[in-house]
Amino acid sequence: MGVLNVTPDSFSDGGSYLAVEKSVAHAMRLVSEGADVIDVGGESTRPGALRTSEQEERGRVLPVIRILASRGVPVSVDTMRASVAAAAVEAGAAFVNDVSGGLADPDMARCVAALKVPYVAMHWRGHSDRMESRSRYCDVVATVRDELHRRMDSLVAAGISPEQIILDPGLGFAKTTAHNWALLRRFDELATLGAPLLVGASRKRFLAGLFPDTSGARADRDLATAAVSALVAARGAACVRVHDVRPTVAAVRVVEAEITPPE
């Protein structure tokens, strides 16, 4: 899954792709590098970010989604709003990626159930402006697993088919660096949830600590992201969400070749 942030304030590429032409060109570049899906988001979820208005979010993502869909590119919409999800699917999006797992908008579950599209539900404890205060766990892996399990049960009870649901442990969202590494170290335990797992580690702050000499420059974080992609792919992740596609494609192909050697 290639990341396309159509926002002015995302933490690593905010403002780079606000113009529709630049957004589409960047998305096509990600596809050429091996992205299977382009995840289009119009609202930043970086730590401390404030909410974007619904009108602004629609204006950012819908024109891009329409063009990409018209070119046959599989698109997911990264949104916490049911109304934006519905409009995006009408514009051609094939997936809904909701970092709140349906908690930010009580209409989201019913909306996705009616849309009948794959739905990524992330582990979430609150909006970006207050999530860091909620990073308290006795056992982060067990807690995230249990909270995702309850979230999945609630989504199914609201009418979403279990086959639609993809789960995301939410690295970096109400998680400290230690929590993120624990989730990766014990990733196998999340597989007991019985749903495909998506991992979004790309360029996140916890990777910067691996490179104290450069303060975690973007290039270093991209290399670390590719390593994380290989790690979780080997442990059964169904998808990884990344900004820099090419190195992750190479890393995942190594894992695939090791599991099923090419003829």
**Whole-number Cα distances in Å, 109 to 104, 117, 143:** 11, 11, 22
Reading the block at residue 211, the tokens are 């490179």
Neighbours of 191 (CB within 10 A): 14
Reading the block at residue 215, the tokens are 């303060």
The three-point CA angle 192-197-198 to 5° equals 155
CB under 8 Å to 23, separation ≥6 — which residues? 4, 6, 17, 40, 64
How far, in Å, CA of 178 to CA of 144, rounded?
14
Q: Estimate to the nearest angstrom the gap between the alpha carbon of 71 and the chain centroid.
A: 22
Select which of 60, 151, 221, 241 is catalytic: 241
Q: Where are the alpha helices (DSSP H) in the chain?
A: 20-32, 54-70, 82-91, 108-115, 140-157, 177-185, 205-208, 218-234, 245-259
Cβ 247 vs Cβ 202: under 8 Å: no
How far, in Å, CA of 53 to CA of 120, rounded?
22
Residue written as token pair 């401390």: 48
Select which of 58, 145, 203, 204 is catalytic: 204
- CB hemisphere CA count around 36 (13 angstroms): 9
Strand 165-168 and strand 38-41: pairing? Answer: unpaired
- 241 a catalytic residue: yes
- 116 a catalytic residue: no
Would you please indicate which residues are annotated as catalytic (active-site) residues?
A: 204, 241
